[in-house]
Structure 1
Amino acid sequence: MKNTFLKIGLGVLLAATALNSCRDEFVDSQFFQSVQQSPLNSIEELESFVRGQYTTMRSSSYYGGDFLMIPEVRSDNMYSDFANGAGYYQTVASYSMVSSDQYATNPYQAMYTVLAKSNIIINNQPSGALTWKASQDPAAILQKSDYLKGQAYAIRALVLFDALRLFGQEYAGGLLGVVVPTKYDPTSLQTRSTVAATRSQIEADFDKAVTLMAPAALNLYGDKTTVNLLSVKGLMSRYYIYKGDFAKVRTLVNDVVTSGRYSVVGPNDYARSFTQANAAQNSMFELSVGSLADLGTTSIAYKLLPAPNGYGNMKVLTAMRANYSANDVRRDGITTANVLNGKYLNGFDNIHVLRYEEVLLNGAEAELQPGGSTVNALKYYNLILANRFKASTAIPVFVPAVAVTLDDIYMERRKELIGEGFGYWDLLRLGKPVTQRSSSGVAGTVRTVGNNLLAFPIPRAELNVPGTLVVPNPGYAN
């Protein structure tokens, strides 16, 4: 890989973020104008680049839209009504992608732009002593710098994990992972790492983040728009549940739960929690959007909602809606026309990357594996269910479960996390078949793990870089 690809993307990014905060303007202008990035000499500059990571992550081709919708298109939860909607995700749904496909190219570009920013933070060597307006104490400045670098390590780990799932060959019959840049070097040409080597870097980065972010005083848990020590551990539980390291998941989830800093949102606040900015009790990490950065017609909301508020492109499968009990508050968020309107309602809503409920589900699944505790699994499972049933005189109130199986957990994941970008990845990690669906949701071709089309094509823009060492994924020679 050569970072020329990244510099092309930064021109677009510069225009897209012109209305954001001064911090974002600094990041994008400084980064775009420099072929070799200049040293960052203050804590304020480092913070700007940290925020710049999040700015890129919220783009409509990454967490602001495509990266969350793509796994739903290929799931047992939703489908793309591309015939009657705006045509979004037709090539993804029909497995007709080519190497120039926008749903491969745009997420790839966004991911590697984030990685470039992370690497600038991680490898920063100031030209003198770092300065900070808040303190002149060298020890405090160093601790703050390390904490910011910890955030960059955590984000680099998350983005590499995202790229590995989308472009790596782990479930597509091969051994190749993705390009793993650890420095920002515009002249670099790199090969794709193996899946194993990519995973090793992800794990090393997460571990480094935990070490650097340990100081309690620097973790501002009230600000959910940046990662903190606990949200990093929550993201790690996501990674390790996909890897199948259940002992790790159990430890990480226990750390989050026993902290007492988060709780499951109640039935009366469930729908509202998705439109609350930086406030919901279950939000562990969200990307700030707001009115100035409104994603508008490119947002998740526009993919989900029908006219006049959207294109109505993404629909819930009828069979999926039938899985909800009549008094389940989540059923209220799915209309009889199979529109998911209980989550993202506006283009300016913050994007919820990590919720406490996901962490609990990770923990419940891990506790049901060898070496785990069924008592803990039940506790985590009931914490969610107890807050999903509304009171009704006609329908009995929720009665806590006295037993839970892995199948129960898998179904609860589908019901709780629908529309949030988990369906396809869960099918693959569990070795389940993936069913292709028509624009009306009718089942068609079934693909199993090992099929080369289960990995996305490496973008043509990457493969066309002169002297590239990157090889394509099989099945995408065009």
Structure 2
Amino acid sequence: MKKYISFLMFVALAMVSSCSDDFLTIDPTESQASGGSATEGAIDANVTSAYQILLFDTYADNQYNSIVFMSDLRSDDIYKGGNDAGDQQLLYHMSQFNMNPSETPEGLWNIYYTGIARCNDALTSCDNAVDVSEDRVAELRSQALFLRAYYTHWLWKFWGNIPYFTAALESPYMAPQYTADEIYDFIMADLDEIIDLDALPMRYDTGDEGRATMAAVYMLKARVVMYQKDDSRYTEVMSEMNKVVNGGYELVDFASIWPREGEFCDESILEVNHLPGEYGGKTWASGWSGYGTNLPAFISPNELKNSEVYQGGWGFGPVRTEVFDLYEEGDVRREASINHFESDDYTVRFQNTGYFMAKYAARIGYNLPPGDQDLNYENNLRIFRLSEAYLNIAELITIDGVAVDGGLTAQEALDAVRTRAKVGAIAPTAANIKLERRREFLGEGMRFWDLVRWGDTALLNEDNAAFSSTRTWSDYMKYLPIPVAEIDKTEGEYKLVQNPGYN
């Protein structure tokens, strides 16, 4: 069920006095001077401020930059959709691999760099703790390190060669630019420190849902290591995936995950807690406040009628017909992941297939006023689910050759996911495991990154005039162009260098 815990809105860093089941709703009562001594409440307020960034991605700095949609957009699972090719033209150009430095998702760039800055402030406050136990400081420090690694990993995936900083910047607020490999090392350093601190539980008790756990740390580490293809880390990642599957989580009925009743379920390792407008809605004027998400409106069919569960939206992200056909008969994930509507039940829009993403679809009663309702759906974003750990195990064994060493076999891991999906056992071949990930994570922002790390980007090429989608992949397209506005802000030794292919 919905956990009514909400994120504080910070103009200046504030602090809360405790960390209980309402840790995100307590009014601020103290504050910390920049760089000064920090009480437990001041540290927690800094950490809470860093968590707040998770709420902002779908209307990132007033841009429609949902992290899962922006990830799926370049995959072979969905089309861009919307009213026409020019409706949110940036998104169409992304889907066609036709990007330029003046047209790139700056909203994500801005919110995640703000997130890094807030994490740095939180870590500074940990360093300046007064009258706080070492265990508590270690716990809060671990959460801040996790968030910094999480925000950095998205910038790293999208842009690769990026500026990075671990302390407050002074005017003119410029930082050194590093290579993608160097950024990987920074991310791993944060994750390694968390693991060494050993201060986070594998799973929090009721009331602290939404905070980073050791399971979330392991899941982020797996994503980063496997994307980097760092085989020197595969054995430890395999061990950690087995810890996660034995860490107090369990697979649940797939369809039950996505309504409000399935939020923070036993399969959920980390999710973002969105709330409807009545708890403080976003407005068109500001993407830096509020608790809701516009992703459901974005991906739902326009002017939908004759549904007792779903309501209409803007018609972006139609699912490709061939993806619907990838599911086996009886696979419960198909209907839970894809909605099919007859064309006379909605207004047909650009690149229409009749299929729409269902997991985060606009549900009736999920966007209560006040606030601008399309921006304020309460659908939680699931960041990590247990099934990913199972499929990571199967992949590490089958594709990467990691020894089982007392943990689950590839067959056992694959069987666990398929049994839950109500389909029979298949051999854990590379092709089957890749297909299983595609079926399992449709609409969750995984497919494009999987194709890139597997080297399967030839599957992204197409010449499909019927759906206005003609695109050719080149390896430099792994990274987007760095926003020209950001390059123009830098000078001298800090002058940003554009990613290759976009000069």
Question: TM-score, normalised to structure 2's length?
Answer: 0.76
Calculate the aligned-residue CA RMSD, in Å.
Answer: 3.0
Q: 1:436 to 1:74 in 2, by over 3 A?
A: farther
Alignment of 1:194-213 (within 5 A): 194-213=179-198
Query: 1:382 aligned to 2:415?
Result: yes
Q: Distance in 2 between matches of 1:209 and 1:432?
A: 33
Q: 1:442 to 1:150 in 2, by over 3 A?
A: same
| Structure 1 residue 186 displacement after superposition | 3.0
Q: 1:460 to 1:69 in 2, by over 3 A?
A: same
Q: Distance in 1 between matches of 2:37 and 2:274?
A: 26
Q: Distance in 1 between matches of 2:214 and 2:455?
A: 31
| Structure 1 residue 448 displacement after superposition | 3.9
- Contact map agreement 1:50 1:148 (CA 8 A) in 2: yes
Instruction: Name the aligned partner's letter for residue 79 of structure 2.
Output: Y
Q: 1:149 to 1:445 in 2, by over 3 A?
A: same
Q: Distance in 2 between matches of 1:464 and 1:458?
A: 11
- Contact map agreement 1:457 1:476 (CA 8 A) in 2: yes
Q: Distance in 2 between matches of 1:86 and 1:262?
A: 44
Aligned counterpart in structure 2 of residue 154 of structure 1, from 136, 146, 157 = 146
Query: 1:306 aligned to 2:337?
Result: no
Q: 1:460 to 1:419 in 2, by over 3 A?
A: same
Instruction: Name the aligned partner's letter for residue 289 of structure 1.
Output: H
- Contact map agreement 1:305 1:340 (CA 8 A) in 2: yes
- Structure 2 gap segments, 5+ residues each: 16-30, 285-292, 304-311, 341-353, 367-376
- The aligned counterpart of 1:372 is 403
- The aligned counterpart of 2:470 is 444
| Structure 1 residue 39 displacement after superposition | 3.0
- The aligned counterpart of 1:172 is none
Q: Distance in 2 between matches of 1:22 and 1:255?
A: 30
Q: Distance in 2 between matches of 1:40 and 1:85?
A: 53
Q: 1:384 to 1:96 in 2, by over 3 A?
A: same
Residue-by-residue CA offset, 1:395-448 (whole Å, 9 max, x unaligned)? xxx3333x2111111111111111111121111111122336769646522214
Residue-by-residue CA offset, 1:196-235 (whole Å, 9 max, x unaligned)? 211111111001112234365x962443311011221122
- Structure 1 gap segments, 5+ residues each: 1-19, 132-137, 169-176, 390-397
Query: 1:343 aligned to 2:340?
Result: no
Instruction: Name the aligned partner's letter for residue 379 of structure 1.
Output: E
Aligned residue for 2:424, secondary structure, equals: coil
Alignment of 1:117-196 (within 5 A): 117-124=118-125, 130-131=130-131, 138=132, 141-168=133-160, 177-187=161-171, 188-196=173-181
Q: Distance in 2 between matches of 1:372 and 1:90?
A: 43
- Contact map agreement 1:306 1:312 (CA 8 A) in 2: yes
Query: 1:361 aligned to 2:391?
Result: yes
**Greater mean deviation of Cα atoms: 437-446 or 247-256:** 437-446
Q: 1:421 to 1:331 in 2, by over 3 A?
A: same
- Contact map agreement 2:271 2:382 (CA 8 A) in 1: yes
**Greater mean deviation of Cα atoms: 149-158 or 459-468:** 459-468
**Greater mean deviation of Cα atoms: 219-228 or 350-359:** 219-228
- Contact map agreement 2:83 2:315 (CA 8 A) in 1: no
- The aligned counterpart of 2:68 is 68
- Contact map agreement 2:318 2:355 (CA 8 A) in 1: yes
Q: 1:92 to 1:40 in 2, by over 3 A?
A: farther
Aligned residue for 1:444, secondary structure, equals: strand
Instruction: Name the aligned partner's letter for residue 464 of structure 1.
Output: D
Instruction: Name the aligned partner's letter for residue 253 of structure 1.
Output: M
Structure with bigger RCO (C-alpha 8 Å, 6+ apart): 1
- Contact map agreement 1:28 1:52 (CA 8 A) in 2: yes
**Greater mean deviation of Cα atoms: 207-216 or 292-301:** 292-301
Question: TM-score, normalised to structure 1's length?
Answer: 0.80
- The aligned counterpart of 1:240 is 225
Aligned residue for 1:371, secondary structure, equals: coil
Aligned residue for 1:54, secondary structure, equals: helix
- The aligned counterpart of 1:98 is 100
Q: 1:440 to 1:348 in 2, by over 3 A?
A: farther
Aligned residue for 2:183, secondary structure, equals: helix
Equivalences, count: 421
| Structure 1 residue 95 displacement after superposition | 3.0
Q: Distance in 1 between matches of 2:13 and 2:488?
A: 25
Instruction: Name the aligned partner's letter for residue 119 of structure 1.
Output: N
Instruction: Name the aligned partner's letter for residue 316 of structure 2.
Output: N
Q: 1:229 to 1:363 in 2, by over 3 A?
A: same
Query: 1:107 aligned to 2:127?
Result: no
Query: 1:474 aligned to 2:500?
Result: yes
Instruction: Name the aligned partner's letter for residue 319 of structure 1.
Output: E
- Contact map agreement 1:94 1:436 (CA 8 A) in 2: no
Q: Distance in 1 between matches of 2:411 and 2:283?
A: 41
Q: 1:85 to 1:359 in 2, by over 3 A?
A: farther
Residue-by-residue CA offset, 1:351-403 (whole Å, 9 max, x unaligned)? 111111112111210121323339621111111111112xxxxxxxx3333x2
- The aligned counterpart of 1:465 is 489
Query: 1:42 aligned to 2:39?
Result: yes
- Contact map agreement 1:80 1:93 (CA 8 A) in 2: yes
Query: 1:263 aligned to 2:263?
Result: no
- Contact map agreement 1:179 1:192 (CA 8 A) in 2: yes
Q: 1:243 to 1:227 in 2, by over 3 A?
A: same
Q: 1:96 to 1:208 in 2, by over 3 A?
A: same
**Greater mean deviation of Cα atoms: 419-428 or 337-346:** 337-346
| Structure 1 residue 284 displacement after superposition | 0.5
Aligned residue for 1:189, secondary structure, equals: coil
Q: Distance in 2 between matches of 1:412 and 1:238?
A: 17
Aligned residue for 1:339, secondary structure, equals: strand
| Structure 1 residue 270 displacement after superposition | 4.2
How high is the sequence identity, in percent, across the aligned residues? 21
Query: 1:251 aligned to 2:264?
Result: no
| Structure 1 residue 279 displacement after superposition | 2.7
Q: 1:281 to 1:440 in 2, by over 3 A?
A: farther
Q: Distance in 1 between matches of 2:99 and 2:189?
A: 33
Residue-by-residue CA offset, 1:224-271 (whole Å, 9 max, x unaligned)? 311011221122122122122332321110111122x11112245244
- The aligned counterpart of 1:10 is none
